[in-house]
Amino acid sequence: NHQIRLQHKRMAQVEKQVSYVKDIEVLALNPVVRNHASLVPTSVTNKAKHHWKRNIDTLGGANTTPGCNSGCNKPANFDDIKHTTLTERGALFEADRCLKCADAPCQKSCPTQLDVKAFISSISTKNYYGAAKMILSDNPNGLTCGMVCPVSELCVGGCNLAGTEEGPINIGGLQQFACEVFKEMGVSQIRDPNLPSKEDLPESFAAKIALVGCGPASISCATFLSRLGYHNITIYEKESFYGGLSATEIPQYRLPWQVVNFEMKLLQDLGCVDVQYGKKLGTDFTVDSLIKDEKFEAVFVGIGLPSPNIDPVFKGLTTENRFYTSKDFLPHVSKFSKEPLCCGGGGCGSKAADTKEVETKPSSPVKLPKLHGKVIVLGAGDTAFDCATSAFRCGAERVIVALRRGIPEIRAVPEEADLFREEKGEFLPYVQVKAPILKDGKIVALELNKMEKENGVYVVDPDSYIRLKCDFVISAFGSKVDDEMAQATGFKFGKSGAALIDKDSMSSTEKPFLFAGGDIVGNGTTVEATNDGKTAAWFMHKYLQELHGLYVSPKPQLPNFYTAIDNVDISIEMAGLTFINPFGLASATPTTSADMIRRAFEQGWGFAVTKTFGLDKDLMTNVSPRIVRGTTSGHKFGPNQGSFLNIEIISEKTVAYWCKAIQELKRDFPKQHVIASIMAAAIQADWEELCAAVVAAGAVAIECNLSCPHGTGDKSMGLACGQDADTVEQITRWVRAATPAHIPVFIKVTPNVTDTRSIARAAKRGGATGVTAVNTISGLMGVDALAQPWPAVGNAKGSTYGGMSGNATRPVALKAISAIAKDMGPDFPIMGTGGADNADTVLQMIVCGASIVQICSAIQNQDYSIIYDLITGLKALLYMRARTDLQKQGWVGQSPPSGSIGRQIASALMNGVKLQDVVGRPSKGAGGKRYTGLPKFGEYAASRQMLRQREIEEATKAREEEQKPNAAAEVTLREGAGIMNKDPETKEQKQEEIKIESVHEVKGKVLSRLSQWMQLKPNEQVVALVDEELCINCGKCYMTCNDSGYQAIDFDAKTHFPTIKSNCTGCTLCVSVCPIPDCIVMVPRDMVNNPYVPDRGVTPADGNIRNAAAGYKYF
């Protein structure tokens, strides 16, 4: 007892120590340094590993999802299975990898010639509108192609990163992501506002144009014709809905109906197309009748290949015999999975919604084919694998793809075949059908001849065959145009079954008014069909204009995609000058020469500041190496460097050169401005001589570089002048006196001082119009293990302190800009510079008080063409600021709602829900309560899959109830859509409701929110909230909170879900290190029921904790 009492006494003494480690249970899983080797029996590990497996769908035996050992039975499960689909996080990560190559092979490999590097560059800067605009300009079916394109054979096949360990870029997934985000914005397409209006166009644009079939080829052709200005276009479609094979033969899990609907809506936005449903070529009309009777002047045929090729051994067999062709099978699967099509275009038990009504016969609900047992799919193309993966969703337990060739020679693209493999599909190579075996009128087996490959040719071995039991056969041997329809098209067909056309113009070799594209001409992919329509549109335009005696340029000039976003005005006036946009080239390497500035102006830059130059007596010669990548982003190679460091001095060119350059550029680009950047020592005569020269040359403004941190200081220039306020004031007075009053004078401020405001004040006292904030930060970028600095010059490997630029300098620049703007007033002209690399960061500088922004490092990372991203990005951000409807849904800039708890709470507060009704309310984020407590690994993942399958079964039963015959029900189809738009698409806010602020109006917006620390409110606290559905169970939040925070997070040993404890202080470190955006968010703390009481450690001397909170005005 005595020993026990002593032990308790010692423990009590220890516990009184402030360094005593508490929360032992909380810290149980926190990483510690290992002091010895770890030993765990293999049997224990073998048992434990199954609990943590995330790849359960790709393993056999015990690790496989229940019911998935020999085939992935997924009845009616049409969830997205594409590997390419990306979240916003995944898209940003993938886009950041892209090299944005010169003469990019990916673009050369795309049939529609998408500028792949440009749209990926926009995604990497979160300019999703700019990316979508770039895609849809060249490909009106851009979202469809992002989902179903055989990218491994096209753009991805040419990606230069395929030559590295990390592999090629997921181009299809990025294309899909950008277009999907734009789709959710709900913005309508308009014609290029720079083109003549319909009323001002020649009469030739009223020519009647017919398009046969409303699939990808015709949608593309009609879109480009509408953009050109043709407004008398009619599309004839045999079905009661649009989309062609995209709607009827590509299942929902690969191509959702909402995608087809979106792309058709964009076409309809232009108001130039009339769609006639239920009109079949060869039955209701022919091409000749359209020309002779309906007086159309040009016709495009994009009907695909509507009839299946069937092996003679299956002659007379139908679905009643359990024999399907792809044309029997896939339309049923596709229409059933695309719910709005399952009742012939009217949706299940619903009426279609659009404008003009067209009466049609009532349609019976489409049934999903009921399969079971073993299914054999014949064929080796993309369609065969669509049939095979769909068979699993129709109830098949095993699916075997039988093909004449070997597995390495499968014609289907890897994207298709790999999905089938992963769903436990089986292959039977080197076989050819001999005969089906029927019993009681049903196929029960197939006899298959074995094939041999002799001298590269496949031949049948008549002495070797097998009989394979099966329950169903699906034939996918390709398609054709039957003779009757071929005659109705007006084309002649070759031996391959394709229409004979001029492949450069897509026109008939015999009838100049007749054009075609897609499957009918042998181009079987959606992207090829889209490009055929695009090509045909231009040459149809050329034909029609020349028919009316008008000249058309031999060089195709098809209009781009436009919306109201492109009409946003981003011009701004500063210091009496009007800038067409606020983006300019900084006085740095991008303005090394006049011809470089010229190329930048040609691409749309608003202004340029010349490379800083001095008098000829101060000319210097650069050393090398002198510009190096930064180390602030870790071991990152290629573009998107977070910083650069340079020891380059001012221009090596003479004053005469730059004066001539200013004259020429001002003459040739009157709407863009050239600002002269000059430098001299603190010698009045030198500054006066420089000012006289640039004023005579016609410079619209002068920037005095008093801040270059290296090289020039040795000659008493640059930073040697700019760090002393009195010297800055004096030089400014000299320059102002030597310059006419109408020419603005700016002083370039150095950040290498204690307070940039003192330098700005000195410049203003000296008569400066404004300032440029800020120049580069003086630093040493790195030293290697051998004590060699970088950059290292000459044999001695010497170096000097250089100027750091890029994103790493942005916080310093934002502070300087905002501090100067608050000190001088929001109307004081500031040119911002330092780490602006995209529209978002430029806008940050503008709301901090800058009027225009100079850019350098972003161009060093890429090229001048980033101006497209900057312009479209800023326009989109200003537009989205005005879209209050989207903000209430949870949009942040161009980032769409993630479905996370945090976005839900923010949206609720914006929609007027009271704080106390939001905070503390149970919520499980995007997954809902059904998946609560179930992470996405091991047995938990299997449970999630079973729950998901149960959801699908319940939904299927509900649909079957809806589909029961109703004698009183009729389906009314309406022209222009023909479907019930059941997906909750965003509707564009009315233009009169959108008040878009100008650049000037947003300038300085943040200044009222910046204050001294003591003015912040400690009685308005936040706490962290974790969304289980987004959590990947990494524990990074737990670790950082333990070792860098407040031990306020529990970490479950089995589920690895973090839980925020009541002692969370709201520091936000967990959010900062979480790898998943919106997984952890900060939400308002309920200060009434759970007030924040700081842990003081030791009670203050007067015993009153509240009194110890000195300075807490709102405590």
- The C-alpha atoms of residue 976 and residue 1004 are separated, in whole angstroms, by 46
Helix or strand holding residue 678 (H, E): strand 673-678
C-alpha to C-alpha distance for 219 and 304, rounded to whole angstroms = 13
User: Which has the closest alpha carbon to 491: 629, 706, 252, 305?
Assistant: 305
| Token duo for residue 356 | 């003009």
Cβ neighbours of residue 489 under 8 Å, at least 6 residues apart?
A: 212, 281, 286, 287, 301, 303, 481, 499, 516, 520
Say how far apart CA 346 and CA 338 lie, in whole Å. 11
Q: What backbone torsions phi and psi does residue 267 show, to the nearest 5 degrees?
A: -65, -45
DSSP string, 586-606: -SSGGGSSHHHHHHHHHHT--
C-alpha closest to that of 682 among 710, 711, 656, 721: 721
Task: Judge whether 708 counts as a catalytic residue.
Answer: yes
| CA 657 – CA 56 distance, rounded (Å) | 68
Q: Is the peptide bond between 625 and the residue preceding it cis, with omega within 30 degrees of 0?
A: yes
Please provide the DSSP assignment of 270-316 as one string: T--EEEEET--BTTTB-HHHHHHTS--SEEEE-----EE---GGGTT
DSSP secondary structure letter of residue 931:
G
* Pairing outcome for strands 323-325 and 472-475: parallel
Q: Is residue 416 classed as helix, strand or coil in its secondary structure?
A: helix
Among candidate residues 662, 721, 727, 729, the one with its CA nearest the CA of residue 695: 662
Phi, psi of 919 (to 5 degrees): -65, 130
Angle at 538 between CA 532 and CA 542, to 5 degrees: 135
Beta strands in 429-508 (DSSP E): 431-439, 442-454, 457-469, 472-475, 479-480, 501-502, 507-508
Cis bond before residue 791 (omega within 30° of 0) = yes
C-alpha 579: how far from chain center: 30
Whose CA is closest to 651, among 690, 685, 678?
A: 678
| Residue 14 burial (CB count, 10 A) | 11
Number of alpha carbons in the 13 Å side-chain half-sphere of residue 597:
29
Structure token digits, residue 849: 């008080």
- Size of the chain, expressed as the number of residues it contains: 1115
DSSP string, 470-492: -SEEEE---EE--HHHHHHHT--
Phi, psi of 199 (to 5 degrees): -70, -25
β-pair partners for 1058: 1051
Strand order in the sheet with 273-277: 273-277, 233-237, 209-212, 298-301, 514-516, 507-508, 501-502
Measuring CA to CA, which residue among 304, 796, 369 is closest to residue 525? 304
Amino acid identity at 922: P
Q: Tokens in use for 750?
A: 């150095």
Answer yes or no: are the C-beta atoms of 173 and 86 closer than 8 Å. yes
Residue from 708, 856, 1067, 1074 carrying the catalytic annotation: 708
78 DSSP β-pair partners: none
Give Cβ neighbours of residue 469 (< 8 Å, ≥ 6 apart): 374, 444, 445
User: What amino acid positions are annotated as catalytic residues?
Assistant: 708
